[in-house]
Amino acid sequence: MGNMKLNLKIWRQNGSNDKGSIKDYPVNDVSEDMSFLEMLDVLNDDLVRKGEDPIAFDHDCREGICGMCSLFINGRPHGPERHITTCQLHMRKFKDGDTIYVEPWRAEAFPVVKDLVVDRGAFDRIQAAGGFVSVNTMGNLVDANAMPVRKADADKAFDAAACIGCGACVAACPNGSAMLFVSAKVSQYALLPQGRPEARERALNMVQQMDAEKFGNCSNIGACEIECPKDISLENIARLNREYLGATLSRE
């Protein structure tokens, strides 16, 4: 085992109706090779052995792609490093004796389920409102190469599509806005010929659902872009605004 000592201050909240509070957890023997979540595993192992309630946190793939992990570490979504998720954060980024605050995503649209776990169902509902191309499964489609796509457009669409839906953008935003998330999806499809035919309806419907889910407004602060583990660009928000405006003006 390692030799770092840390003072963890972790948010505990027993269900959405509980008020919740920060509790202190001193931990020893933290190795710098551990990931942040492995450090919490070790703490939980200890808590279970002592008969205490382990800390609930979301996680799954632990390689930065599923978007399930979601910790607010020392005031920053996914912790101090840029362009990684919490599960990719390793303890070598901390120092012996550090105090670390660990909290859940905080946003009106993401109610706390337990401790560090929040409900991000709002993202699914936004996606269901328009985050798709209306194409059924078909056995006799046109050949994939029948419609070339400019490499630059395909690359930009990919950059937007890299969003993992973790919600760090919302957690980072003082307004709790989901504009970066929504704009990434709108952009991916708007940039591809396959997504163009319903680009306008998509922008309108997704934004309408976003507002219904009580996400805040975007005031161009840019914290979302800074904290996004996948480096989704603010350019997408500009594109969403253009699509939305165009859609509003030309509504049939």
Partner 1 sequence: MSTLDSKIPPGPIDKKWTDHKGHIRIVAPSNKRRIDIIVVGTGLAGGAAAASLAEMGYNVKAFCFQDSARRAHSIAAQGGINAAKNYQNDGDSTYRLFYDTVKGGDYRSREANVYRLAEVSANIIDQCVAQGVPFARDYGGLLDNRSFGGVQVSRTFYARGQTGQQLLLGAYSALMRQVGKGTVQMFDRHEMLDVVVVDGKARGIIARNLITGEIERHGAHAVLLCTGGYGNVFFLSTNAMGSNVTAAWKAHKRGAYFGNPCYTQIHPTCIPVSGTHQSKLTLMSESLRNDGRIWVPKNIEDAKAIREGKKKGSDIPEADRDYYLERRYPAFGNLVPRDVASRAAKERCDAGFGVNKTGEAVYLDFSAAIQRYGKQQANMQKVENASPEQIRELGTAVVSEKYGNLFDMYENIVGEDPYKHAMKIYPAVHYTMGGLWVDYNLQTTVPGLFCLGEANFSDHGANRLGASALMQGLADGYFVIPYTVGDYLADDIRTGPIDTMRPEFDAAEKEQKDRIHHFLNNKGTKPVDDFHRRLGKVMWDKCGMARNAQGLQEAIVEIRRIREEFWKYVRVPGTANEFNQELEKAGRVADFIELGELMCMDALNRNESCGGHFREESQELDGPQQGEAKRDDENYAYVAAWEWLGEAGKANLHKEHLEFNEVKLTQRSYK
**In the range 37-76, which residues lie near partner 1 by CB under 8 A?**
37-39, 41-42, 44-45, 48-49, 51-54, 56, 58-68
Question: Which of the residues 205 through 224 are near partner 1 (CB under 8 A)?
Answer: none
20: left (phi over 0), alpha (psi -120 to 50) or beta: left
- Which residue, 108 or 231, is less far from partner 1 as judged by CB? 231
The answer to whether 114 touches 127, Cβ cutoff 8 Å, is: no
Window 118 to 147, contacts with partner 1 (CB under 8 A): 119-121, 123-124, 127-139, 141-145, 147
Scan residues 221-240 and list those touching partner 1 (CB under 8 A).
Answer: none
* Region from 101-109, 112-120, 211-219, 240-248 binding partner 1, contact rule CB under 8 A: 112-120
Over the Cα atoms of the chain, what is R_g? 20
CB of 111 to partner 1, least distance (A): 11
From candidates 73, 78, 109, 114, binder to partner 1 by CB under 8 A: 114
Judged by beta carbon, residue 66 or residue 221, the one nearer partner 1 is 66
Closer to partner 1 by CB, 29 or 108: give it.
29
* Cβ proximity to partner 1, 31 vs 233, nearer residue: 31
- Beta-carbon contacts of 19 under 8 Å, excluding residues fewer than 6 positions away, are 13
* Least CB distance to partner 1 at residue 165 (A): 6
Q: CB-wise, 43 or 173, nearer to partner 1?
A: 43
Which residues in the 9-38 window bind partner 1 by CB under 8 A?
14-15, 31-35, 37-38
Angle at 132 between CA 130 and CA 133, to 5 degrees: 115
Q: How far is the CB of 67 from partner 1 (least distance, A)?
A: 6
Exposed/middle/buried for residue 45 (C-beta within 10 Å: 0-12, 13-18, 19+): exposed
H/E run at residue 100: strand 99-103
Size of the site for partner 1 (CB under 8 A): 81
> CB of residue 101 vs partner 1: minimum separation in angstroms?
22
- Between the two ends of the chain, the Cα-to-Cα distance in Å is 65
Q: What is the DSSP letter of 229?
A: T
Cβ count near 216 (within 10 Å): 18
Q: How far is Cα of residue 191 from the mean position of the Cα atoms in its chain?
A: 22
